[in-house]
Amino acid sequence: MLLAGALGVLGAITAVAVSVPADAAASTLGAAAAQSGRYFGTAISANKLGDSAYTTIANREFNMVTAENEMKIDATEPNQNQFNFTNADRIYNWAVQNGKQVRGHTLAWYAQQPGWMQSLSGSALRQAMINHINGVMAHYKGKIPYWDVVNEAYADSGGGRRDSNLQRTGNDWIEVAFRTARAADPAAKLCYNDYNTDNWTWAKTQGVYNMVKDFKSRGVPIDCVGFQSHFNSGSPYPSNYRQTLQNFAALGVDVAITELDVEGASATTYANIVNDCLAVPRCVGITTWGVRDSDSWRSSQTPLLFDGNGNKKPAYTAVLNALNSAPNTSPSPTPPVSPSASPTPPVSPSPTPPVSPSPDTSPQPGGCSATMRTINSWPGGFQSEVTVSAGSSAVNGWTVNWTWPGGQTISSLWNGTQSVSGSSVTVRNAPYNGSIAAGSSTTLGFTANGTAATPSVTCS
Ligand code: 9MR
């Protein structure tokens, strides 16, 4: 612009200045990405925040931060119901104090579960997952623009789900996680995140695509898909990567490259990846999985943009140049920092009505009783919990029944098996929760369409 201004007074050669880009090239990754409304991020480790060589590069170059391990389940809830945000907050505060945003990673995952969670199953695990999502998201409510709600839930081959203790709680665990997350922080964009979903022809990519498509068609709240993009000889950068990003974006979600590293750090490959993101309006940003090669989980592959001494590698220059060549437009109808203006706005839950459990109509003592309460509600839907309690003697197998007052329909139910006849719902125990000790209780849950209601529940 200075050049243009200086030349402008010369009139006759102003035309020469016109060929100069309107914006001077940005000199850092974050600033370069911001020219097209995107972010450029990195994974950060709390234990490196005392390394000034590390923080100097991280602070200068990146404007989005992902905690490499510190917001995971084992870090944030090391003992059940005892949340610990010490290291997560160190990263969050460092990022915010330096003008950066934070991607939340991750709330429900088969890996890095604390020991207590690894040993849970069935309804106890399902409830613990919901409780964990609520606990962590409450701590960061309104502060995290994107959350990886569910991580790596698909199997490496075949296109189906990965077996895990979470998967064994019922196929609906993913949508329950997303509905819980939406209610916990309606301002956050909610992402599904996975690896080896980059090649459009791979079965795993298709499996995740079909899940997202299904969620969008049924109104399950999902706003974004993260492509980890750990590229190496076994899982190379695919020539159809752009097509994959485009196809997912066409479902009505943001897409993001969330954990990028490339074995050998080919400058050409890095430039291609950046250009693929830039070509997709809803590709909102790119995160590399670490700062220097020495910080990488795969350091021997030297896959990042800075070498172990903090020097810029050829791939860095390729990425910066690609970002600087992007059309000067916003990536999506909304910048990533203002989720409330999204074309698929997070649904604000209606004010949660006072929880009024349905009256207990079951015989007492002995036998069983049941009550229903509303957990979450949003326009057009709600999530409820039914508590089934044994009286003065143990219960071995139970059946609960209620009648919907206003045409409600269950979309998914866990910890029980349902049969529906008109407005009448009957739920029997699941194989693992039929036995209730005297004086104890168990819960089942469901999400439903319609207006939240708490009809009385009978138990036998
Ligand atoms: O980079 C992370 C490494 O420090 C941890 O030991 C590892 C443990 O599971 O997780 C790594 O990060 C993973 C990320 O959370 C999810 N996608 C794969 C990443 C690399 O393993």
Mutate to test the pocket of ligand 1, among 259, 293, 294 (most ligand atoms within 8 A of CB): 259
Q: Report which protein residue has its CA nearest ligand 1's atom 9.
A: 112
Q: Which residues of 11-46 are buried (b: 16+ CB within 10 A; e: fewer)?
A: eeeeeeeeeeeeeeeeebbbbbbbbbbbbbbbbbbb
Q: Report which protein residue has its CA nearest ligand 1's atom 14.
A: 68
DSSP readout, 27-82? SSHHHHHHTTT-EEEEEE-GGGTT-HHHHHHHHHH-SEEEESSTTSHHHH-SBTTB
Q: Report which protein residue has its CA nearest ligand 1's atom 13.
A: 68
- Look at residues 109, 266, 147, 276 and name the one whose alpha carbon lies nearest to residue 200: 276
Distances (CA, A) of 161 to 154, 155, 205, 232: 4, 5, 12, 23
User: Of all residues in the chain, what percent are helix, strand and coil, respectively (each to 5)?
Assistant: 30, 25, 45
> Quick one: what percent of the chain has pLDDT higher than 90?
74
Average pLDDT, stretch 250-264?
A: 98
d(Cα 159, Cα 35) in Å, to the nearest integer? Answer: 37
Q: CB within 6 Å of ligand 1 — which residues?
A: 68-69, 111-112, 151, 195, 228, 259, 297
Place of tokens 């509905």: 179
Helix axes 173-184, 203-218, angle to 10 degrees: 50
Distances (CA, A) of 74 to 113, 118, 267: 5, 10, 36
Residues in the chain: 460
Helix axes 241-249, 203-218, angle to 10 degrees: 10
Joined together, the tokens standing for residue 232 give 């190496």
Residue 365 is predicted with a pLDDT of 67
Please give the number of the atom of ligand 1 that sits closest to the Cα of 228. 17
Distances (CA, A) of 287 to 22, 137, 453: 27, 21, 43
Q: What is the set of active-site residues?
A: 152, 259
| β strands within 391-440, DSSP E | 395-396, 399-403, 409-414, 417-421, 424-428, 435-436
Asked if 372 contacts 457 with a C-beta cutoff of 8 angstroms, the reply is yes
Asked if 129 contacts 108 with a C-beta cutoff of 8 angstroms, the reply is yes
Centre of ligand 1 to C-alpha 127, Å, is 25
Please give the number of the atom of ligand 1 that sits closest to the Cα of 195. 17
Chain centroid to CA 225:
8
Centre of ligand 1 to C-alpha 380, Å, is 37
d(Cα 323, Cα 312) in Å, to the nearest integer? Answer: 16
Asked if 168 contacts 126 with a C-beta cutoff of 8 angstroms, the reply is no
Helix axes 267-278, 241-249, angle to 10 degrees: 20
pLDDT digits (tens, 9 = 90+) for 116-152: 999 999 999 999 999 999 999 999 999 999 999 999 9
Place of tokens 């119901």: 81
DSSP 228: -
User: Could you check whether the bond before residue 447 is cis, i.e. omega within 30 degrees of 0?
Assistant: no
d(Cα 152, Cα 73) in Å, to the nearest integer? Answer: 14
User: Could you check whether the bond before residue 314 is cis, i.e. omega within 30 degrees of 0?
Assistant: no
Centre of ligand 1 to C-alpha 69, Å, is 7
d(Cα 396, Cα 435) in Å, to the nearest integer? Answer: 4
**β-strand pairing of 101-109 with 64-67:** parallel
| β strands within 350-408, DSSP E | 368-378, 381-390, 395-396, 399-403
Q: Report which protein residue has its CA nearest ligand 1's atom 5.
A: 69
Residue 376 is predicted with a pLDDT of 79
Residue 351 pLDDT greater than 50, yes or no: no
Q: Report which protein residue has its CA nearest ligand 1's atom 20.
A: 297
Residue 359 pLDDT greater than 70, yes or no: no
Give the pLDDT band (50/70/90) at residue 93.
Answer: very high
| β strands within 125-203, DSSP E | 146-151, 189-194
Q: ∠ CA 217-223-224 to the nearest 5 degrees?
A: 115
Joined together, the tokens standing for residue 198 give 């980059």
Asked if 262 contacts 270 with a C-beta cutoff of 8 angstroms, the reply is yes
Look at 13 and 296; give whichever has higher pLDDT.
296
Give the pLDDT band (50/70/90) at residue 431.
Answer: low
294-308, 382-396, 431-445: range with highest mean pLDDT: 294-308
Q: Under 8 Å CB-to-CB from 412, ≥6 apart: which residues?
A: 172, 175, 176, 446, 447
Average pLDDT, stretch 64-81?
A: 98
Please give the number of the atom of ligand 1 that sits closest to the Cα of 290. 1
Q: Report which protein residue has its CA nearest ligand 1's atom 19.
A: 259
Centre of ligand 1 to C-alpha 68, Å, is 7
d(Cα 148, Cα 219) in Å, to the nearest integer? Answer: 18
Mutate to test the pocket of ligand 1, among 110, 193, 289, 295 (most ligand atoms within 8 A of CB): 289
Look at 207 and 332; give whichever has higher pLDDT.
207
d(Cα 453, Cα 456) in Å, to the nearest integer? Answer: 10
Give the pLDDT band (50/70/90) at residue 334.
Answer: very low
Centre of ligand 1 to C-alpha 78, Å, is 17
Please give the number of the atom of ligand 1 that sits closest to the Cα of 72. 15
The pTM score is 0.71
Place of tokens 């990263």: 91
Q: ∠ CA 193-199-205 to the nearest 5 degrees?
A: 50
Q: Which of these ranges, 202-216, 276-290, 302-316, 381-395, has the smallest mean pLDDT?
A: 381-395
Average predicted confidence (pLDDT) for the chain: 88
Residue 353 is predicted with a pLDDT of 39
Torsion of CA 47, 52, 57, 60, to 10 degrees: 110
